[in-house]
Amino acid sequence: MAKENFGNYVKSLRKALCMSQSDLGNCLHCSFQAISRYESNTIDIDLSFLGILARSLKVDLTSFINQKNEKNNDDCDHYIFDSEKFASTLIYLRNEKHLSQKEMAKIVNISNNKISKWENNSSLPTIDEFKKLKSFFDLSYEDLYFAKFNLVQFDNHKQYKKRRLFTLALSSC
C-alpha cells in the first residue's frame, strides 16, 4: 500500500472553510507551523489528531481517510480518541482471531514490535497502518478509531482457570 499524502487534502479543506493555518492549529492545540508541516507532507498526521482534524474540517473520519469532502456521520462530534481504549481494543480483536502478535504481524505485514507498542499504548499506528488494521479486523474506521465498543472484563473461573476474558459489544451511544 502506497503512503498517503494528506497535505494537499487538508490544505484544500482548510481553505474551503476560509481557515488560516493558525485557526486550524488552534482547533488542534498545535502551532500553525505544525499545520504547515502537515500540509507540505513534511510530517505525518498523528493518528490521535484524526478525529478532531476531521471535525474541524467538517468531514467524517472515513471521508477524511479516503480524502473526500463528505460528512456521512457525526461520530467525530460525539466521540473522542482514547489511546488506552484503542490499545485494549486491538488486544481484544487480535485475541478474538486467536492470533499472537507475531502471527498478526505476518498477516498484516506490520512488524511485531510495532503491534506490541500499539497494544502497550506506547505508540500509535500511522494512517496507512491504521487502514491495514481496519481492513484486517473488518470494521469501520469510526468503530476502530473511537473503539466504539464496551469491553466488559469478567473472570470465568471454571472453564478458563481464572484467565480473563473480554466480551465485545457495540456501544449503543
Q: What is the pLDDT of residues 90-143, one digit of tens each?
A: 999 999 999 999 999 999 999 999 999 999 999 999 999 999 999 999 999 999
Residue 55, in any domain of the structure = yes
* Residue 59 sits in the same domain as residue 137: no
Count of domains forming the chain:
2
* Residue 74 sits in the same domain as residue 89: no
Residue 1, in any domain of the structure = no
* Residue 166 sits in the same domain as residue 104: yes
CATH number of domain containing 23 = 1.10.260.40
pLDDT classification of 5: cutoffs 50, 70, 90:
confident
* Residue 103 sits in the same domain as residue 30: no
Residue 72, in any domain of the structure = yes
Cα separations in angstroms, 104 against 116, 146, 168, 169: 11, 21, 19, 22
pTM of the model: 0.81
Q: Which residues of 86-98 are buried (b: 16+ CB within 10 A; e: fewer)?
A: bbbbbbbbbeeee
For residue 150, the cross-strand partners are 169
* Residue 70 sits in the same domain as residue 97: no
- Among residues 52, 136, 126, 122, the alpha carbon closest in space to that of 87 is found at 122
* Residue 18 sits in the same domain as residue 89: no
* Residue 106 sits in the same domain as residue 74: no
- Res. 163: pLDDT tops 50: no
Give residue 149's domain range. Answer: 83-170
| Boundary of a domain, candidates 56, 78, 100 | 78
- Among residues 99, 167, 166, the alpha carbon closest in space to that of 133 is found at 99
